[in-house]
A and B are shown apart, each in its own frame.
Chain A
Amino acid sequence: MTRAHWWANGIAACALATAGCGLFGTSSSGSREFVAISYGGPTQVPHRRFLADPFEAAHGSVKVTLVASESEDVVAQIKAARGGSPYDVIPLGEPRQIMAIEEGWVERTPPDTLPNLDAVHPYFREACRGHGVPETYSLLGLAYNPARVPRPAAWTDLWKPEFRGHVGLTTPASNLGFAFVVLTAKLFGGSETDVEPAWPQIHKLEPFVVASNPTALAQLFERNEVAVAPLWSNDAAVLASRGLNVRFVQPAPGALILVSCLDVIRATAHPELARDYINRAVSREYQAQAVQAPWFFGPTNRQVDIPAEAGDYLPASFDDFSKLMRLDWDAGTRVRGAVSARFNREFRR
């Protein structure tokens, strides 16, 4: 090969590479992509059908991509991509909401840009601390397979011999696992900041299976690996809707409520669109559909009625919230890292 040939080939290769880059970088439709973090599995359906689709219809050229996530992994991505988040909005449970506000990567949304917020019950507005909107709430109760174990009536029933070997848990990496550790501590004399009483009690539940997140735990019910587990009401409702023999109870002294806030990520490229999206998430139209079977998303909008068939999964009315347990997440969040590290050491396998 001559020197001229060599250079010609090199230039041709560079040209091809440049052309390739250009092709990949050009949008063929010219539409804008709006990326919203959503829930995993079938619980994503209300977001797609009743929120994202009408949003796309209203904005014409906007295409909404829903990314299923348990939030822990995307939080790391958002923080890593400072100044240019790959996502626009994210649902955060209360513990993550507190951390996100402290770390400053979610937007303090001006209430005047969120007209639907006026219809939201004040109980939920407080939970989001002026950032984002309280999109929904879930109850942490006990899911069980009635064919394999008796109906648990109280949280402490989990420690009864008839449940031994059938219990499933998640790691405190998820809000579910963290809430269960704190709840156990409170049931046995501890508090949000003193979780020490939880460790010997959780050891007494062994042998149990530890899933990495609530979705993985729900799958274990499908495969009969577990017969009883602390689980979110929505996950239990979806399992039951698939025909699985899974029931959900709100054990005494009460199920634990966790509010989910839908936040605008500070580094979003589409702040106006993001505010409209979260405003729609607290609209009567969206929530009246998301509260229906099989999702039973807890409504935060006072104008939404809770359907009768949601009885096992949600309180009958806003007046019944006094029967639910709440955790002091501000205090709990401060010890979360230590709880997670301790859990991994205590229950390593």
Chain B
Amino acid sequence: MKRDRLRLMLPLLPASGFLTLFLVVPLLLLFSFGFLQIERGEVTSVVTGATYRDILGDPFYRYLFGRTFLIAVSVTGLCLLFGYPVAYLYVSMRSRWRVLILTSVFAPLLTSALARTFGWMVILGNQGVLNKTLIWLGVLDQPMQFLFTLTGVMIAMTQVLLPFMVVPLITSLQSIPHALTEVAANLGATHCQTFWRVTVPQSVPGIAAGVSLVFVLAFTEFTVSVLMGGGTFAVVSVNMFEAMTTLLDWSRGAAIASLLLMSSATVVTLFNLLVRRLTPWMHTGR
């Protein structure tokens, strides 16, 4: 019995070896670098907690982490707001419309985030399509600043991350038995009541997966922040890059990276615990 189990686990060895070597070990090194003094690129044997203490005691970093968290939460909320109707439409439509919806959802993923962000820079610039349209419609007298603002970053980030919300939602909505909504209708529930009392609660696993995925990606997002927000856009990832490449302060960069990782893991874990607590019927084996 034990040998059978071991044999079954053998195929896992390559993947787990790969992950240990290229994920677990680098993460441990990253975490430890924050405690080591690194001078001129040389790792010394001096162990110090000063770097973590400096960061945790610095109000600027508290502001940075708080702001990054709020941006990630807002982008996640926007993705859910825009993504849910798309996913709902997808499962309600016939197959040819589904192909169209799925193509439009996945199309942005066919190119890199860099190319998509440059696209947004062209659209949101002072001479961009959006400003020109708003001026032509008489909504604005002069161009509105979107680039290098929080608004611009959030618009681009929401679009870039939207597919990561839509895909788990589609999977979740598709798994809801059609009979459930029919029963609700037969019992006299309106379409709106069925949606809020049957469809939404049943799609909670998809919402949880999408929210977790988008939150983590938004919390650690770098490309969009630096291109759309400019060189001084205050989020953790940009500051971490600056610490590593400009200040060449690897201890600080490693400490920031570790704190970023730990805080995003904590938020996602707490969120999933909350979801489990609020939706006990999902986990009773019913």
User: Is A75's beta carbon under 8 Å from chain B?
Assistant: yes
- Range, interface on chain B: 20 to 34
Which residues of chain A are within 8 angstroms of B233 by Cβ–Cβ distance? 348-349
In the complex, which of the residues A80, A82, A105, A224 contacts B127, with contact meaning CB atoms closer than 8 Å?
A224
Q: By the criterion CB–CB under 8 Å, are A212 and B231 in contact?
A: yes
Q: By the criterion CB–CB under 8 Å, are A223 and B126 in contact?
A: yes
User: Is A171's beta carbon under 8 Å from chain B?
Assistant: yes
- Chain A residue at smallest Cβ distance from B235: A348
Q: Mark B231-251, 1 if CB is under 8 A from A, else 0.
A: 111100001001011111100
Q: By the criterion CB–CB under 8 Å, are A340 and B242 in contact?
A: yes
User: Is B218's beta carbon under 8 Å from chain A?
Assistant: no
User: Is A66's beta carbon under 8 Å from chain B?
Assistant: no
* CB under 8 Å from chain B, chain A span 213-238: 213, 216, 223-225
Q: Mark B166-210, 1 if CB is under 8 A from A, else 0.
A: 000000000000000000000000000000000000000000000
User: Is B157's beta carbon under 8 Å from chain A?
Assistant: no
* Complex CA distance for A177 and B121, rounded to whole angstroms: 22
Q: By the criterion CB–CB under 8 Å, are B60 and A345 in contact?
A: yes
User: Is B34's beta carbon under 8 Å from chain A?
Assistant: no
Q: By the criterion CB–CB under 8 Å, are B126 and A344 in contact?
A: no
* Complex CA distance for A1 and B133, rounded to whole angstroms: 65
User: Is B229's beta carbon under 8 Å from chain A?
Assistant: yes
Q: By the criterion CB–CB under 8 Å, are A82 and B41 in contact?
A: yes
* Complex CA distance for A211 and B229, rounded to whole angstroms: 9
Which residues of chain B are within 8 angstroms of A207 by Cβ–Cβ distance? 145
Which residues of chain B are within 8 angstroms of A341 by Cβ–Cβ distance? 247
User: Is A311's beta carbon under 8 Å from chain B?
Assistant: no
Which residues of chain B are within 8 angstroms of A225 by Cβ–Cβ distance? 125-126, 147
Q: By the criterion CB–CB under 8 Å, are A337 and B247 in contact?
A: yes
Which residues of chain B are within 8 angstroms of A345 by Cβ–Cβ distance? 60
User: Is A112's beta carbon under 8 Å from chain B?
Assistant: no
- Range, interface on chain A: 35 or more
CB distance from A137 to the nearest CB of B (A): 23
CB distance from A18 to the nearest CB of B (A): 13
In the complex, which of the residues A82, A212, A223, A343 contacts B230, with contact meaning CB atoms closer than 8 Å?
A212
Among A73, A82, A104, A223, residue most surrounded by chain B Cβ atoms (within 10 Å): A223
* Complex CA distance for A259 and B125, rounded to whole angstroms: 34
Q: By the criterion CB–CB under 8 Å, are B244 and A76 in contact?
A: yes
Q: Mark A94-117, 1 if CB is under 8 A from B, else 0.
A: 000001001111000000000000
* CB under 8 Å from chain A, chain B span 117-157: 121-122, 125-128, 145, 147-150
Which residues of chain A are within 8 angstroms of B247 by Cβ–Cβ distance? 337, 340-341
CB distance from A20 to the nearest CB of B (A): 14
Q: By the criterion CB–CB under 8 Å, are B148 and A223 in contact?
A: no
Q: By the criterion CB–CB under 8 Å, are A347 and B125 in contact?
A: no
Q: By the criterion CB–CB under 8 Å, are A212 and B226 in contact?
A: yes
* A211-B230 in contact given A79-B41, A80-B41 (Cβ < 8 Å): yes
Which residues of chain B are within 8 angstroms of A104 by Cβ–Cβ distance? 40
Q: By the criterion CB–CB under 8 Å, are A349 and B127 in contact?
A: no
User: Is A72's beta carbon under 8 Å from chain B?
Assistant: yes
* A349-B230 in contact given A72-B246, A75-B245, A76-B248 (Cβ < 8 Å): yes
Q: By the criterion CB–CB under 8 Å, are B148 and A349 in contact?
A: yes
Which residues of chain B are within 8 angstroms of A82 by Cβ–Cβ distance? 41-42
Q: By the criterion CB–CB under 8 Å, are B248 and A223 in contact?
A: no
Which residues of chain A are within 8 angstroms of B246 by Cβ–Cβ distance? 72, 171-173, 337, 340
Q: By the criterion CB–CB under 8 Å, are A337 and B249 in contact?
A: yes
Q: By the criterion CB–CB under 8 Å, are A173 and B231 in contact?
A: yes
* Complex CA distance for A164 and B145, rounded to whole angstroms: 15
Q: By the criterion CB–CB under 8 Å, are B125 and A223 in contact?
A: yes
- Chain A residue at smallest Cβ distance from B41: A79
Q: By the criterion CB–CB under 8 Å, are B242 and A210 in contact?
A: no
CB distance from A246 to the nearest CB of B (A): 15
User: Is A209's beta carbon under 8 Å from chain B?
Assistant: yes
In the complex, which of the residues B40, B121, B149 contacts A223, with contact meaning CB atoms closer than 8 Å?
B121
* Complex CA distance for A75 and B59, rounded to whole angstroms: 30
Which residues of chain A are within 8 angstroms of B60 by Cβ–Cβ distance? 345
- Chain B residue at smallest Cβ distance from A73: B245
Which residues of chain A are within 8 angstroms of B245 by Cβ–Cβ distance? 72-73, 75-76, 173
CB distance from A87 to the nearest CB of B (A): 15
* CB under 8 Å from chain A, chain B span 17-67: 40-42, 60
In the complex, which of the residues A72, A105, A171, A216 contacts B232, with contact meaning CB atoms closer than 8 Å?
A171
Provide a sorted-by-A list of 5 A–B residue pairs whose CB atoms are within 8 angstroms.
Answer: A73-B245, A170-B231, A173-B231, A223-B126, A223-B128
**Given A171-B232, A224-B125, A340-B247, 8 new contacts (CB under 8 A):** A72-B245, A72-B246, A73-B245, A76-B244, A173-B245, A211-B230, A216-B231, A344-B234
5 closest A-B pairs (Cβ-Cβ)? A79-B41, A171-B231, A348-B234, A212-B231, A173-B246
